[in-house]
Amino acid sequence: MMTNACYAVIFISRLRADAEGYAETARRMMDLVREQPGFLGMESWRDETGRGVTISWWESEEAIARWRQHPRHRQAMRRGREEWYESFRVQICRVEREGCGS
């Protein structure tokens, strides 16, 4: 647990039934994100209907912005928008109370 402020990214999505290639890319992105400066932790859930959430924690908004600009992440996001997600939403949040990390 850190006591400093941190940021949480809430990513809520609904996968298409035919999201071919999604699982492999998701695994690769999980490995890649752990190497990013300012990354603090991540937790994910997905139910049997395809509705899922990933919460990731970051030291700063700058760290979040850098990850959004990472070429391999950008490519994965593009495939997500075009091929895998029926819908999604992203919220960037400042954690006001309690600790950060996972």
Q: Report the interface residues with a second copy, using CB under 8 A.
A: 7-8, 10, 12, 43, 45-47, 51-53, 55, 61, 89-100
Strand order, beta sheet including 6-15: 6-15, 51-58, 39-46
- For the bound state, the minimum distance from the C-beta of residue 9 to a second copy, rounded and expressed in Å, comes to 9
Report which DSSP code applies to 40.
E
CB closer to a second copy, 51 vs 79: 51
Cα-flanking dihedrals φ and ψ of residue 7, to 5°? -125, 145
CB closer to a second copy, 71 vs 94: 94
